[in-house]
């Protein structure tokens, strides 16, 4: 029998200083917290076969999804359907903190990337492959 996996997600996200931290990986989905520093961004990308749902915990920023731009702040949720170009930018003076669910998983189980540069390097080197793809 499966045990209850529980997170006080806003608190966990706020307490993580890391650019990206994978909290949980299942067969079909993955839970990740992210902290984007002031003037930072996730980086323009497309996940061809992965849907993504992002919920913003604190800070302010911009969501650029499929050619449209929308301001985001605490409590907002943005859906990025598979195959859609997107980027999220921090436009405020404080970190932009969020949690995101990927379906299916996008990153290596348990991955922690302290900075965007570290995350980009892990992806380019093949060290950040989701389970079953390494």
Q: Which helix (H) or strand (E) holds 62?
A: strand 60-65
pLDDT, tens digit (0-9, with 9 covering 90-100), for 70-110: 999 999 999 999 999 999 999 999 999 999 999 999 999 99
- Domains of the chain are 9-125 (2.60.120.10)
Strand-pairing partners, residue 99, are: 33, 55
pLDDT, tens digit (0-9, with 9 covering 90-100), for 8-63: 999 999 999 999 999 999 999 999 999 999 999 999 999 999 999 999 999 999 99
- Give the burial class of 4: count Cβ atoms within 10 A of its Cβ; 0-12 exposed, 13-18 middle, 19 or more buried: exposed
Whether pTM exceeds 0.85: yes
Q: Which candidate, 105, 83, 99, places its Cα nearest to that of 10?
A: 99
Residues 6+ apart with CB under 8 A from 7: 23, 24, 31
């Amino acid at each position: 029998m499966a045990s209850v996996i529980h997170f006080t997600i806003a608190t966990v996200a706020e307490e993580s200083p890391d650019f990206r931290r994978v909290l949980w990986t299942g067969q079909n989905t993955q839970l990740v917290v992210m902290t984007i520093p002031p003037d930072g961004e996730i980086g323009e990308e497309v996940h061809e076969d992965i849907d993504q749902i992002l919920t913003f915990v604190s800070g302010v920023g911009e969501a650029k999804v499929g050619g449209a731009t929308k301001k985001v702040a605490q409590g907002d949720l943005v859906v990025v359907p598979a195959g859609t170009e997107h980027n999220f930018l921090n436009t405020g003076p404080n970190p932009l903190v969020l949690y995101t669910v990927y379906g299916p998983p996008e990153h290596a189980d348990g991955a922690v990337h302290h900075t965007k540069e570290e995350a980009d390097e892990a992806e380019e080197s093949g060290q950040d492959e989701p389970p079953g793809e390494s």
